Structure 1
Amino acid sequence: MKPQKGNLYLIPCTLGDTPPLEVLPLLVKKAVEHIDHYIVEHEKNARQFIKSIVPRKSQPDLQFQLINKFTNEGEIPQMLSPCFEGIDVGVISDAGCPGIADPGAAVVKEAHANGIKVVPLVGPSSILMAMMASGFNGQNFAFNGYLPIDKKERKAELKRLERLSYERDQSQLFIETPYRNNQMLESLLVSLHKDTRLCVACDITLPSEYIKTTTVEHWKKIKVDLHKRPTLFVIQK
Structure 2
Amino acid sequence: MFGKLYLIPTTLGETEPLEVMPLSVKKVVEQIDYYIVENEKSARRFIKKISPKKSQPSLQIMLLDKYAEELETRKYLDVCKEGINVGLLSEAGVPAIADPGASIVKLAHQNNIQVVPLVGPSSILMAMMSSGMNGQNFAFNGYLPIDKGERKKAIKDLERLSKDKKQSQIFIETPYRNEKMFTDLKATLTPTTNLCIAADITLPTEFIKTMFIKDWKHQQPDLHKKPAIFIIQK
TM bin, normalised by shorter chain, reads: over 0.9
- 1:92-131 mapped onto 2 (5 Å cutoff): 92-131=89-128
Whichever residue aligns with residue 206 of structure 1, its letter is L
1:197 aligned onto 2:212: no
Alpha-carbon distance in 1 for matches of 2:147, 2:45: 36
Aligned to 2:216: 219
Alpha-carbon distance in 1 for matches of 2:144, 2:9: 25
Which secondary structure state, in structure 2, belongs to the residue aligned with residue 9 of structure 1? strand
1:12 aligned onto 2:25: no
Which secondary structure state, in structure 2, belongs to the residue aligned with residue 61 of structure 1? coil
Alpha-carbon distance in 1 for matches of 2:176, 2:83: 43
Shift of 1:230: 0.3
Alpha-carbon distance in 1 for matches of 2:72, 2:139: 30
Shift of 1:37: 0.2
Which secondary structure state, in structure 1, belongs to the residue aligned with residue 139 of structure 2? strand
Aligned to 2:163: 166
Which secondary structure state, in structure 2, belongs to the residue aligned with residue 144 of structure 1? strand
Shift of 1:74: 2.5
Alpha-carbon distance in 1 for matches of 2:192, 2:10: 36
1:141 aligned onto 2:138: yes
- Identity of aligned pairs, percent? 63
Which secondary structure state, in structure 1, belongs to the residue aligned with residue 10 of structure 2? coil
8 Å contact from structure 1 (residues 76, 110) kept in 2: no
Which secondary structure state, in structure 2, belongs to the residue aligned with residue 167 of structure 1? helix
Alpha-carbon distance in 2 for matches of 1:212, 1:70: 37
Whichever residue aligns with residue 159 of structure 1, its letter is K
Which secondary structure state, in structure 2, belongs to the residue aligned with residue 45 of structure 1? helix
Aligned to 1:33: 30
**1:179 pairs with one of 176, 179, 187:** 176
Aligned to 2:226: 229
8 Å contact from structure 1 (residues 165, 171) kept in 2: yes
Which TM-score applies when normalising by structure 1?
0.97
Shift of 1:69: 4.5
**2:21 pairs with one of 16, 20, 24:** 24
Shift of 1:77: 2.3
8 Å contact from structure 1 (residues 8, 88) kept in 2: yes
Shift of 1:222: 1.1
What stretches of structure 2 of length at least 5 have no aligned partner?
none
8 Å contact from structure 1 (residues 37, 90) kept in 2: yes
Shift of 1:75: 2.5
Which TM-score applies when normalising by structure 2?
0.98
